[in-house]
Structure 1
Amino acid sequence: MNPLDRYEPLVDDVDAFRAACDRPLPSVVRTNRIKASPARVGDAFDEEGVAYDPVGWHDGLFRLTDGNPGGNWPHLHGWTHGQEEVSVLPTLALDPQPGERVWDACAAPGSKTTQIADAMADRGTVVANDNNLGRLSALRHNAERLGVTNTIVTNQDARNFSTKPLAFDEFDRALVDAPCSCEGTCRKNPDVLDEWTLDHVHAVAGIQKGILTRAVQATRPGGTVVYSTCTFAPEENEAVLDHALATEKCEIVPFDLPLETVPGVTEWDGETYDERVRRAHRVYPHHNDTGGFFCAKLRVGGTEEEIDGSDGDADGSDGDADGSDGDAGETGVAR
């Protein structure tokens, strides 16, 4: 069975959905503002004869006609980073601020980690964690190329992540861009559909629940956790959020994204989920000519006294995290 068949009841136009999933994915690069502005990148592309189209919904994204994001000098000099268009959404939802402490729980190979560092103006601390040691080398390489200096790299199972090696015990924000069954990437990697099994969906959903639980626990009251995947499976999306709502002090909050999305689903395969999962966003390939994606934003709960008494708020902190950016050997970038 093609796993896309099971998601047809969720989409508004089945034919358009299937046709989009069969088309190759556009090649996109993100401007690294640590080193260059979008205008400078555009000028550099013009000088080198790189054909491109700016992505209208987000300044600093460019679609490249030749499909080779790494074959030009702006990439080599760290002005740009090849990143799938919808992959920038979690950092937009997270909205990290300069001086904060941010955890990227599943970071390698570093696209989102470096985007977070960029959004923070390379100030504060990003803890980029991944349990795959081999992939962390790519993360470190990307961080160095992009000039990121505020990132510490850790190699732990995110479900049991320990802050003991750090100089602090909680984060202002956390991103869980979770490992998943990846059907949403079928436009760039069609093999994921051939390798898909329902057993894997159920197995990885258990891992996702553990990682999101730890992220909520590791984030201060009033802080923000963003959960994202590149799968269409409700078992890995809404069901994971439903579990977090039932077991942890957190709330799914409404937020806007600058492209067409649809709300999360509350019923699937005989299961019913908390109505608040509708505040999450589903991205389907035929709506924006992108990959498939899922993104939700959570506010960590606690008493009002705990939230009011914590350092900073969900939009900023006291900025003393800058002191941990000095170890060049532990610098990195994320997914």
Structure 2
Amino acid sequence: MDPLERYRPIVDDFEAFLAACRRPLPRAVRVNTIKATVERAAAVLEREGVEFERRGWNPQLFTLAEEGPGPGSTLASFHGLTYGQEEVSTVPPLVLDPEPGERVWDACAAPGGKATQLAALMDDSGTIIANDDNLGRLSALRFNAERLGATALAVTNQDARNYSLNPFGFDEFDRALVDVPCSCEGTIRKNPDTLEGWSMDHVHSVSGIQRDVLRRAVQATREGGTVVYSTCTFAPEENEAVVNEALAAEDCRLREVDIELEYAPGVTEWEGDEYDPSLERAARIYPHHNNTGGFFVAKLEVGA
């Protein structure tokens, strides 16, 4: 059976959802405002003959024409003026909404799309600790940080589940982004073979890691600070269930996700399990809503 069939009870217009999942994903780039204004990046692309459209909900996003150079093959990309990033992947940093000068932790940062976006949102000031436990992926993270000019970004290689702040001159973050490894069901438009190795065993296995990373992020964030949890999958076991456990075990509560994209609320029950009613404040972004990939985003405030 198609693994996506299990979501028929919770997805509106399920046939449109399936049809969208089978269509190729539009090619998108994010303007890197550390190095360029939106106008300058657009002008460089236009001089290069690259056709693109601006996305109304986020003026720093362009979708490229199906024909022509890919997101990473333009002069604008080479010079770090743009970064190839799936449209919905830009949502979690926007929801986190960091301020210049703050201390921000990106718990699972490689290859660096969201970490460098955080740096841009912070005017490349303050401190962004971009961590990943996969040493092999850190080279891509460092390369992208250098290419995009993100000087406020420091790279660490730790297991986020028991992350230590001992190397730093501070003992808590203002904000944390927890964009965890997942079963990646929401990337099916970009990677059609995503579901070939799908199994419930994998979903349950990865959800345990996700729970530990999210709880560590809440523990490492100051009272009144913000933690954003996100995945590119549809499974409630990796989404609402993970956040539900953090709500029960840590001192935090859910806030509304404020974005201009269309989305469905988080689910509060799934296959016999009931979750905290506040999980309706989370956002489920489905491919048929905005012609994007799939994503789950929840915003938590630390402290009562």
Instruction: Work out the percentage of aligned pairs sharing the same amino acid.
Output: 64
In structure 1, the partner of 2:59 is: 59
Q: For 2:131, which of 114, 129, 132 is the aligned residue?
A: 129
Counterpart contact for 2:257–2:297, Cα < 8 Å: no
Following superposition of structure 1 onto structure 2, how do residues 1-335 of structure 1 map, counting pairs within 5 Å?
Answer: 1-65=1-65, 66=67, 68-302=70-304
Cα shift at 1:2: 1.4
Q: 1:262, 1:19 → 2: CA distance? A: 18
Cα shift at 1:26: 0.5
Counterpart contact for 2:229–2:299, Cα < 8 Å: yes
Q: 2:25, 2:295 → 1: CA distance? A: 13
Cα shift at 1:254: 1.3
Matched to 1:31, the amino acid is: V
Superposed CA RMSD: 0.8
The TM-score with structure 2 as length reference comes to: 0.98
Matched to 2:54, the amino acid is: P
Cα shift at 1:170: 0.3
Matched to 1:227, the amino acid is: Y
Secondary structure (helix, strand or coil) at the match of 2:45 reads: helix
Secondary structure (helix, strand or coil) at the match of 1:9 reads: coil
Counterpart contact for 1:2–1:194, Cα < 8 Å: no
Q: 1:158, 1:175 → 2: CA distance? A: 11
Secondary structure (helix, strand or coil) at the match of 1:121 reads: coil
In structure 2, the partner of 1:323 is: none
Cα shift at 1:265: 0.3
Secondary structure (helix, strand or coil) at the match of 2:301 reads: strand
Secondary structure (helix, strand or coil) at the match of 1:169 reads: coil
Return 5+ residue gaps in structure 1 as ranges: 303-335
The TM-score with structure 1 as length reference comes to: 0.89
Cα shift at 1:191: 1.4
Cα shift at 1:255: 2.9
Q: 1:281, 1:261 → 2: CA distance? A: 6
Secondary structure (helix, strand or coil) at the match of 1:10 reads: coil
Counterpart contact for 1:255–1:279, Cα < 8 Å: yes
Secondary structure (helix, strand or coil) at the match of 2:8 reads: helix
Counterpart contact for 2:232–2:295, Cα < 8 Å: yes
Deviates more, 1:28-37 or 1:188-197: 188-197
Q: 2:240, 2:74 → 1: CA distance? A: 40
Cα shift at 1:93: 0.5
Matched to 2:136, the amino acid is: G
Secondary structure (helix, strand or coil) at the match of 1:235 reads: coil
1:110-139: per-residue Cα shift (whole Å, max 9, x none)? Answer: 000000000000000000000000100000
Counterpart contact for 1:186–1:192, Cα < 8 Å: yes
Cα shift at 1:4: 0.7
Secondary structure (helix, strand or coil) at the match of 1:258 reads: coil
Matched to 2:43, the amino acid is: D
Matched to 2:215, the amino acid is: T
Secondary structure (helix, strand or coil) at the match of 2:178 reads: strand
Secondary structure (helix, strand or coil) at the match of 1:251 reads: strand
Cα shift at 1:68: 0.4
Q: 1:270, 1:91 → 2: CA distance? A: 32
**How many residue pairs align between the two structures?**
302
Structure 1 ranges of 4+ moved more than 6 A: none
Matched to 1:7, the amino acid is: Y
The structure, 1 or 2, with the larger RCO (C-alpha pairs under 8 Å, 6+ apart) is 1
Counterpart contact for 1:106–1:177, Cα < 8 Å: yes
